[in-house]
């Protein structure tokens, strides 16, 4: 297999640099010739990539074994490192100035990353390249460049990108330095496969895919097949089975969203040299970082559109508090067995915020950037549908914008030009491919395009008996998910005084169980209503936002989210019941809505300093109170973090 080292040493540079060359020339629309600066730059990049990949191949000759696919993936990232070194060619080494610090620093980081990877990180028994390590060094070099150079027209966006790139790099190096805490080796050990409460369901599904099958490897107890109704928990008494796992036609399946496996687990497995798979802690921490970046990104878009006069420091503080108050950090949880539940919620929310952010970013772009942003927006919508399909209802928010864009493409503007409808092609193509993949995945398992498996889960009740009860279910859903209040942590003192607020005991505020007289679902647990958080009362600024904007698409975007929240709560209550983890996508959507309403109202309320300053203070106070509540809820008794000692 060592011949593959030299094959990929030539193939990888052509692929990577060919992609960059295409986008560079397409964007600038330049005539191609050897005198063209873009062509010259890409030829230097190609040559540097060849050199580094060839060195890597030669080093690999001294190992006893190689992995062909791993070497190919590793070489792709080596090419990215090479591209960070080529700016040195343009330097005048006889007259170096302060501007030379940036390219020299970038090249030094890239070179160190390459040397470390092919030497210090090798065991020599098998030559493996870690795309994660190489990618981290490439990202670090990119970050150094952005510290001194402004590649973006938006200063605030550039700062946010740099900040999150730095945080992401720290996260990558931290996880790589302690792999046992963040990853598990594949093939999995027996202890990481099947237990009765089945905490490793995502590992089980990953392993099934690796073996070329859709059903899980565990064999169900044959007695389940003899039951008249195996989904009735009373008939399953005395029979061993995997909890919250789908049972269908004598096989076990997973109904949990499959998208995180392809968006996170397989990429990490490939980048690690086909050796390790991320565990729940890694997946949920990554989702937390991504959601935070998505909130900041969407916040800056809204600020640029509606409130350009707001200071940057306020926008950063505002965005951070929106992230916390909308349960952003609550993706992480204490109970290890719950990561199978949290992962699909977390990535559905990540998909939601990037779906909206990249769609609106694409609206104000032209050319190749518009294609890319809308393609990414569609990709994140696939992530939503492949994680928690109920949240796909938010697509209705962008429909008026799409309709308007298409209609404008049929009419000429003042210059006699028509809108270019080509950017809709990648958007539609990604949606179609993603939709076919998910529908096919369902059909191959259950014979239905729309059945994700939840009807056949072995859980607290027969899920097929759940129904959308409008008469009672809507009221119950509103109470539990909108109105239900948290409680203060209480302590009865030795003096006999009951009801004393023990402010030395954290969390100060926690959840409670409330059972209504008439519940339409059997599963009723802890919950906290949206109206208990002061952060969402920013939505009361809605009349000012509507008054400032007369476009129907903006009215739809601002008015519909509360109704979508009510529909989602009703669906969740009727089909799933009441549970703290279920609020994980109600609160983020409410947070995005409150943020959007605030920025839209700024068009009129922040023109004068006399109204701008009080509004800024009020918004930060409400969000801070909401963030305080969210931090307390992160340590709820149902599945939150616990303070030990």
- What distance in Å separates the CA atoms of residue 599 and residue 432, rounded to the nearest whole number? 33
Q: CA of 79: how far to CAs of 112, 168, 233, 292, in Å?
A: 14, 21, 56, 30
Once rounded to an integer, what is the mean pLDDT over residues 270-297?
Answer: 90
Once rounded to an integer, what is the mean pLDDT over residues 383-405?
Answer: 93
- Note the pLDDT of residue 322: 96
Q: What is the torsion angle, in degrees rounded to the nearest 10, for the CA atoms of residue 21, residue 166, residue 305 and residue 395?
A: 80
Report pLDDT digits (tens) over 192-205: 666 666 778 899 99
Task: Output 152 or 614, whichever has higher pLDDT.
Answer: 614
- What distance in Å separates the CA atoms of residue 451 and residue 449, rounded to the nearest whole number? 6
Quick one: pLDDT band at residue 123, thresholds 50, 70, 90?
Answer: low
Once rounded to an integer, what is the mean pLDDT over residues 407-433?
Answer: 74
Domain boundaries, given as residue ranges, for the chain: 3-149, 190-254, 283-633
Quick one: pLDDT band at residue 351, thresholds 50, 70, 90?
Answer: very high
- What distance in Å separates the CA atoms of residue 37 and residue 21, rounded to the nearest whole number? 12
- Note the pLDDT of residue 353: 96
Output the six-digit token pair for 332: 């992480």
Cα-flanking dihedrals φ and ψ of residue 46, to 5°?
-65, -45
User: Does 504 score more than 70 pLDDT?
Assistant: no
Report pLDDT digits (tens) over 473-491: 899 999 999 999 988 875 4
User: Does 178 score more than 70 pLDDT?
Assistant: yes
Q: Which residues of 538-554 are buried (b: 16+ CB within 10 A; e: fewer)?
A: bbebbebbbeebeeebb
What is the distance, to the nearest Å, from the Cα of residue 46 to the centroid of all Cα atoms in its chain? 33
- Note the pLDDT of residue 494: 37
Least confident segment among 249-263, 339-353, 510-524: 510-524
- Note the pLDDT of residue 491: 47
Once rounded to an integer, what is the mean pLDDT over residues 261-283?
Answer: 89
Q: Are 245 and 216 in contact (CB under 8 A)?
A: yes
- What distance in Å separates the CA atoms of residue 598 and residue 121, rounded to the nearest whole number? 50
Cα-flanking dihedrals φ and ψ of residue 500, to 5°?
-70, 130
Quick one: pLDDT band at residue 502, thresholds 50, 70, 90?
Answer: very low
User: Does 183 score more than 70 pLDDT?
Assistant: yes
- Note the pLDDT of residue 628: 93
User: Does 392 score more than 60 pLDDT?
Assistant: yes
Once rounded to an integer, what is the mean pLDDT over residues 412-438?
Answer: 79
- What distance in Å separates the CA atoms of residue 645 and residue 642, rounded to the nearest whole number? 10
- Note the pLDDT of residue 331: 75
Residues in a beta bridge with 412: 418
Please return the burial class of 1, using the count of CB atoms within 10 Å of its CB with bins 0-12, 13-18 and 19+: exposed
- What distance in Å separates the CA atoms of residue 283 and residue 342, rounded to the nearest whole number? 10
**What element of type H or E holds 278?**
strand 276-278
Nearest to 230 by CA among 245, 215, 216: 245
Per the prediction, the chain carries an average pLDDT of 83
């Amino acid at each position: 297999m060592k011949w593959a080292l030299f094959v990929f040493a030539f193939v990888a540079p052509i692929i990577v640099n060919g992609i960059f060359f295409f986008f560079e020339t397409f964007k600038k629309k330049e005539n191609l010739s050897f005198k063209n600066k873009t062509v010259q730059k890409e030829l230097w990049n190609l040559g540097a990539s060849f050199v580094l990949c060839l060195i890597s191949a030669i080093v690999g000759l001294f190992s006893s074994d190689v992995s062909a696919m791993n070497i190919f993936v590793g070489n792709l990232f080596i090419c990215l490192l090479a591209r960070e070194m080529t700016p040195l060619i343009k330097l005048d080494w006889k007259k170096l100035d302060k501007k030379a610090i940036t390219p020299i620093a970038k090249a030094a980081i890239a070179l160190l990353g390459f040397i470390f990877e092919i030497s210090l990180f090798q065991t020599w028994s098998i030559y493996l390249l870690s795309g994660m390590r190489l990618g981290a060094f490439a990202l670090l070099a990119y970050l150094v460049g952005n510290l001194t150079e402004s590649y973006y027209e938006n200063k605030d966006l550039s700062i946010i990108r740099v900040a999150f790139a730095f945080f992401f790099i720290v996260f990558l190096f931290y996880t790589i330095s302690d792999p046992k805490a963040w990853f598990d080796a594949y093939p999995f050990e027996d202890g990481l496969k099947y237990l009765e409460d089945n905490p490793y369901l995502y590992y089980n599904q990953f392993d099934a895919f690796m073996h070329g099958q859709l059903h899980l490897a565990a064999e169900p107890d044959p007695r389940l097949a003899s039951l008249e109704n195996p989904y009735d928990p009373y008939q399953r008494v005395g029979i061993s089975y995997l909890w919250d796992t789908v049972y269908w036609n004598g096989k076990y399946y997973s109904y949990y969203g499959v998208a995180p496996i392809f968006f996170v687990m397989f990429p990490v497995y490939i980048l690690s040299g086909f050796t390790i798979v991320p565990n729940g802690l890694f997946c949920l921490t990554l989702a937390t970082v991504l959601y935070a970046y998505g909130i900041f990104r969407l916040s800056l878009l809204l600020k640029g559109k509606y409130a350009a006069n707001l200071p940057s420091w306020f926008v950063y503080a505002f965005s951070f508090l929106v992230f916390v108050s909308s349960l952003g950090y609550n993706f992480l949880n204490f109970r290890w067995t719950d990561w199978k539940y949290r992962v699909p919620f977390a990535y559905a929310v990540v998909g939601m915020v990037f779906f909206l952010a990249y769609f609106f970013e694409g609206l104000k772009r032209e050319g190749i950037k518009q294609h890319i942003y809308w393609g990414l927006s569609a990709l994140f919508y696939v992530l939503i549908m492949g994680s928690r399909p109920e949240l796909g209802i938010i697509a209705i928010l962008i429909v008026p914008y799409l309709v308007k864009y298409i209609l404008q493409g049929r009419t000429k503007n003042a210059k006699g030009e028509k809108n270019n409808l080509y950017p809709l092609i990648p958007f539609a193509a990604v949606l179609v491919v993603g939709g076919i993949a998910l529908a096919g995945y369902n059909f191959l398992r259950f014979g239905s395009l729309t059945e994700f498996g939840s009807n056949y889960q072995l859980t607290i009740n027969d899920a097929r008996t759940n129904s959308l009860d409008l008469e009672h279910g809507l009221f119950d859903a509103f109470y539990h998910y909108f109105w239900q209040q948290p409680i203060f942590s209480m302590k009865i003192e030795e003096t006999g005084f009951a009801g004393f607020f023990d402010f030395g005991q954290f969390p100060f505020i926690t959840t409670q169980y409330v059972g209504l007289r008439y519940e339409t679902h059997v599963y009723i647990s802890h919950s906290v209503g949206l109206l208990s958080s002061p952060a969402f009362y920013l939505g009361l600024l809605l009349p000012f936002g509507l008054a400032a904007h007369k476009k129907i698409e903006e009215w739809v975007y601002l008015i519909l989210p509360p109704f979508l929240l009510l529909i989602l709560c009703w669906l969740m209550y009727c089909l799933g019941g009441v549970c703290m983890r279920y609020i994980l996508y109600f609160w983020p959507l409410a947070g995005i809505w409150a943020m959007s309403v605030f920025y839209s109202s700024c068009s009129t309320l922040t023109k004068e300093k006399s109204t701008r300053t009080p509004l800024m203070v009020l918004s930060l106070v409400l969000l801070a109170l909401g963030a305080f509540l969210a931090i307390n809820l992160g340590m709820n008794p149902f599945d939150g973090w616990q303070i030990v000692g």
